[in-house]
Amino acid sequence: MSELSGQVAIVTGGVSGIGAATVTLLAEAGAAVVVADIQPAAKEAPGRFVKHDVASEDSWKALLADVLGRDGRLDILVNNAGITGGWGTIETTTVEQWRRIEAVDSEGVFLGCKYAIEGMKKTGPQKSASKGSIVNVSSVAALIGSAGPTAYCAAKGAVRLLSKSVALYCAEKKYGIRCNSVHPGGVDTPIFNPLWQAMGHEQGRAMLGAHHPIGDMADPEDLGQLILWLASDRAAFVTGAELVADGGLTSGLSRRGLFGTR
Amino acid sequence: MARVENKVVLLSGGASGIGAATARLVVREGGKAVLADRDEAKGRALAQELGEAAQFIPLDVTDEAAWAKAVAATVEIFGGLHGLLNAAGVGVRNSIEDCTLEEYRRVNDINSMGTFLGCKHAIPAMAKTIKEKGGAGSIVNISSVLGLRGASYAMAYCASKGAVRSLTKNVALHCAQLKYGIRCNSVHPGYIDTPMIAPRLSATVDNMSGKQWLEELHPLGRLGQAEEVANMILFLLSDESGFSTGSEFVCDGGLTA
């Protein structure tokens, strides 16, 4: 029997990037995966696609009703959907941009946790000790100020602390639901498409890769493996933690951020 | 010794609590304090008490136009801007299950977006002051121990203070890269005896008074005083802290130790 047989997972932003890699790995581990994305479904991808806007509370209600109705339970939520929302600095970011990034990156994760907990509670204990795992994809931008646009840093910082609050709350209530944040460095995903278009994929990846002590960017699967581990019972004692997978980006005295220097 | 001699400091939430204690200290140490707050009565009274070195400006931190006005008025009254304290904030108890989207947004708007808007509008005025008149600038953002550690009972507050913590580093690096001469740091107080936590002191938690419960959280066995946090903020506003930027300054009676 596969590790996640009988379990149901939702992955937001599951059509591309880290989300798509996570969907594949969760499905390979035996989970029934719901791919929740605002983008159209990819062809021949694993999982069941459901159109979903993480910034909309109604969309979350509909998604949970759909998943509980069709799949009968919920065990894993990966709050992966996110936007960088352009390259705004503290001086150039507008309130409109701030609100858009907050809505997707921060409020979207809040709503996901809130409705997933409701769903996980309703569907009761798994055969295993674990009842549920929530994985919130934050960023190294929550840890260091050079790794993202201003509003993105703020929103990812919110996700970092929100995850701890959720973890502690679920622990106190003895729900058996764990919640952790994941902090990727540069990952070769469509989030960098503008850069790939500007300088070519190979050169762009080499340039960003050079910012990481390990000398390369991550592939989406690298993050997918970490998320799979957190989702599984192998991480049964891990909650409220910040797991960094950044090729060493935040471990040393790097002057240069992920998005380069001015 | 006047430690912030002739420095002009704009303080959101300057009418009460940590903001008010800092305003008093700024004036005592030779600086000018602009108290920006929603509470007009309190703010005007404190400004009057502090004399000519203090002024009051009404400010709702979630209103971008009000921030632009407050910064412009500060420069007009005192001829420049050197320091910004983002102290306005709300403390709200809620969990992931009982917090509504409206409440999440309200808390984040005040604590997080309010700090963003303060930095955004103060930076150009501070950079201009420094360019024209020399000196150095400093922004101090009030985060919390709950920007460092989680609490089950303060979900939205944790998120908003985590945002302030990360935002501060981004602002610090932006100003450093552009050589504005402006530093930016976050301050992380424990539970401080201010109006924000007053409702919690009278509540009962685990069969003890809220006050005792909160006191016992801190290894020092007591609540912090607003003046103790203000002392740290004044250090950060002054040139004494000239090599500190993008950092987290904790003032919590050992709470996170």
- In the beta sheet, which residues pair with residue A134? A77, A179
Collapsed DSSP state (helix, strand, coil) of residue A139: coil
Q: Which of B191, B187, B180 has its CA nearest to residue B217?
A: B191
Domains within chain B, CATH numbers bracketed: 8-189+226-251 (3.40.50.720), 198-223 (no CATH)
Alpha-helical runs (H) found in chain A: 17-28, 57-71, 95-101, 108-123, 150-172, 193-199, 201-209, 220-231
Residues from chain A contacting residue B120 (CB–CB below 8 Å): 90-91, 93
Of A157, A166, A240, Cβ closest to residue B166 = A157
Over its C-alpha atoms, chain A yields an Rg (Å, rounded) of 18
Collect the ranges in chain B with pLDDT lower than 70: 1
- Our CA-based measurement puts residue B152 at a distance from the nearest CA of chain A, in whole angstroms, of 4
Q: Are B8 and B16 in contact (CB under 8 A)?
A: no
State residue B96's pLDDT score. Answer: 98
Residues from chain A contacting residue B169 (CB–CB below 8 Å): 144-146, 153
Q: Are B29 and B2 in contact (CB under 8 A)?
A: yes
d(C-alpha B99, C-alpha A36), whole Å = 23
**DSSP code of B163?**
H
- Give the pLDDT mean for A14-35: 98
Closest-CA residue of chain A to B144: A161
Q: Quick check: is A261 in a domain?
A: no
Interface test with B, best of A165, A172, A183, A250 (most B CBs within 10 A): A165
10 Å CB burial of residue B195 (0-12, 13-18, 19+) is: middle
Residues sharing a CB contact under 8 Å with residue B220, sequence separation 6 or more, in sequence order: B253, B254
Interface test with B, best of A53, A56, A64, A90 (most B CBs within 10 A): A90
Q: Quick check: is A119 in a domain?
A: yes
**DSSP code of A133?**
E
Residue contact B166–A156, C-beta within 8 A: yes
pLDDT > 70 fraction of chain B, expressed in percent and rounded: 100
- Our CA-based measurement puts residue B37 at a distance from the nearest CA of chain A, in whole angstroms, of 20
> Could you read off the pLDDT of A197-253 as tens digits, one per residue?
999 999 999 999 998 999 999 999 999 999 999 999 999 999 999 999 999 999 887
- The pTM (predicted TM-score) of the whole model is 0.94
State residue A257's pLDDT score. Answer: 58
CB neighbourhood size of A135 (10 A): 26
Of A102, A117, A164, Cβ closest to residue B97 = A117
**DSSP code of A46?**
S
State the total domains in chain A.
1
d(C-alpha A126, C-alpha B243), whole Å = 53
> Could you read off the pLDDT of B208-228 as tens digits, one per residue?
999 999 999 999 999 999 999
Token representation of residue A14: 């599951």
A240: domain range?
Answer: 8-245
Q: Determine whether B104 is an active site residue.
A: no
Q: Which residues of A are catalytic?
A: 152
Report which residue type is found at A106: S
Q: Quick check: is A2 in a domain?
A: no
Provide the CATH number for the domain around residue A143: 3.40.50.720
State residue A261's pLDDT score. Answer: 45
Q: Quick check: is A253 in a domain?
A: no
- Our CA-based measurement puts residue A56 at a distance from the nearest CA of chain B, in whole angstroms, of 10
Q: Quick check: is A262 in a domain?
A: no
Report which residue type is found at A13: G
Q: Which of A250, A231, A242 has its CA nearest to residue A76?
A: A231
> Could you read off the pLDDT of A74-89 as tens digits, one per residue?
999 999 999 998 889 9
State residue B254's pLDDT score. Answer: 96
> Could you read off the pLDDT of A108-167 as tens digits, one per residue?
999 999 999 999 998 865 545 557 999 999 999 999 998 889 999 999 999 999 999 999
State residue A127's pLDDT score. Answer: 47
Residue contact A110–B146, C-beta within 8 A: no
Q: Quick check: is A238 in a domain?
A: yes
Interface test with A, best of B64, B86, B96 (most A CBs within 10 A): B96
d(C-alpha A103, C-alpha A110), whole Å = 10
Task: Label residue A255 by pLDDT band (50, 70, 90).
Answer: low
Complex confidence, ipTM: 0.91
State residue B222's pLDDT score. Answer: 97
Token representation of residue B85: 């304290």
Of A148, A164, A257, Cβ closest to residue B149 = A164
pLDDT > 70 fraction of chain A, expressed in percent and rounded: 94
Collapsed DSSP state (helix, strand, coil) of residue B115: helix
Of A89, A98, A162, Cβ closest to residue B159 = A162
Closest-CA residue of chain B to A240: B150
CB neighbourhood size of B183 (10 A): 25
Report which residue type is found at A99: R
